[in-house]
Amino acid sequence: MLWDIDGTILRAKGAGRRAMNQAFAETFGIEGAFDDVVMHGRIDLDFIAEVFADHEVDKRKLEDFLFAYYRALQKEATPENMELLPGVVDVLQEAERRGYLYNALGTGNVEVGARIKLDAFDLNHFFPVGGFCERPAHRYEVLDNAIEQAKAYYGIEFAPRDVIVIGDTVRDIEAARKLKVRVVAVATGGSRYEELAAHQPDLLLPDLLEQARLFAWIEEHASA
Ligand SMILES: [Mg+2]
């Protein structure tokens, strides 16, 4: 199971945006640079590159910006500032308990940022491996890398039909389709239920409290 983070596992409720704004102000002296940036379902370094271009700042300062972002995110990404989405921990635990399911991350976040957010709710132990944003890329490339990393880590040759992407946006569905893997959409984040339904995920859930439906669907397709 390849997990998206924002809108699927947790809601950062602006913590990431505030941290990026702080880091940009610290690095370049410009306030509010990320105020109007659409982030849902997108790759961090993609929209960061856009903001750098819009403000014509020095691309060579990307590392400085990222370090400032991690520092700011450490302060912003607290359990009080964010929301762990309902049912997530139960699904992660149940997946581990079943033994034949393997959790991994497939996120547009840079890895350090992803780990900081997950650490707020002590979730990193569920995800020994994952695919992250390492450079500006398409979402399907991030997921493809996640699958390769998971194969290497778990020592299992997962076929496309064995891979289940869990995500909250139309972009997650499109990326999964591109890779011919299956996709469970949850309407807890960036896209509304009707909008997700229109893009026909393999399974659509209002949230992950619907654990029984999720595992029934997995079992039904495990032997198909
Ligand atoms: Mg998301």
CATH number of residue 208's parent domain:
3.40.50.1000
pLDDT at 23 > cutoff 80: yes
Choosing from 42, 58, 76, the residue where a domain stops is 76
Portion of the chain with pLDDT greater than 90, in percent: 94
Mean pLDDT throughout 156-184?
A: 96
Distance 44 CA to ligand 1 centre (A): 12
In angstroms, the CA 143 to CA 181 distance is 10
Q: Are residues 61 and 116 in the same domain?
A: no
In angstroms, the CA 139 to CA 133 distance is 9
Domain count of the fold of the chain? 2
CATH code where residue 32 lies? 1.10.150
Distance 220 CA to ligand 1 centre (A): 26
Q: Which residues make up the environment of ion ligand 1, defined by Cβ < 5 Å?
A: 4, 6-7, 168
pLDDT at 224 > cutoff 60: no
Q: Are residues 217 and 132 in the same domain?
A: yes
Q: Are residues 112 and 22 in the same domain?
A: no
Distance 3 CA to ligand 1 centre (A): 9
Q: Are residues 26 and 99 in the same domain?
A: no
Q: Are residues 97 and 132 in the same domain?
A: yes
Q: Are residues 20 and 53 in the same domain?
A: yes
The whole-angstrom distance between residue 194's C-alpha and the CA centroid of its chain comes to: 21
Mean pLDDT throughout 16-29?
A: 98
Choosing from 76, 105, 126, the residue where a domain stops is 76
Q: Are residues 148 and 98 in the same domain?
A: yes
Distance 184 CA to ligand 1 centre (A): 12
Domain enclosing residue 208, as ranges: 2-11+83-223
Q: Are residues 97 and 64 in the same domain?
A: no
Q: Are residues 70 and 128 in the same domain?
A: no
Cβ contacts of residue 174 below 8 Å, gap of 6+? 139, 140, 199
- Nearest alpha carbon to residue 166 among 150, 144, 182: 182
Q: Are residues 194 and 87 in the same domain?
A: yes
Residue with token string 């520092």: 71
Over residues 86-132, the pLDDT tens digits come to: 999 999 999 999 999 999 999 999 999 999 999 999 999 999 999 99
**18 pLDDT tier (thresholds 50, 70, 90):** very high
Q: Are strands 83-84 and 10-11 parallel, antiparallel or unpaired?
A: antiparallel
Burial classification of residue 158, based on how many CB atoms lie within 10 Å of its CB (0-12 exposed, 13-18 middle, 19 or more buried): middle
Q: Are residues 173 and 103 in the same domain?
A: yes
Distance 212 CA to ligand 1 centre (A): 22
pLDDT at 150: 97
pLDDT at 135: 85
**40 pLDDT tier (thresholds 50, 70, 90):** confident
- Nearest alpha carbon to residue 106 among 5, 218, 214: 5
Choosing from 76, 100, 118, the residue where a domain stops is 76
pLDDT at 190: 77
Q: Are residues 129 and 21 in the same domain?
A: no
- Nearest alpha carbon to residue 162 among 148, 181, 177, 143: 181
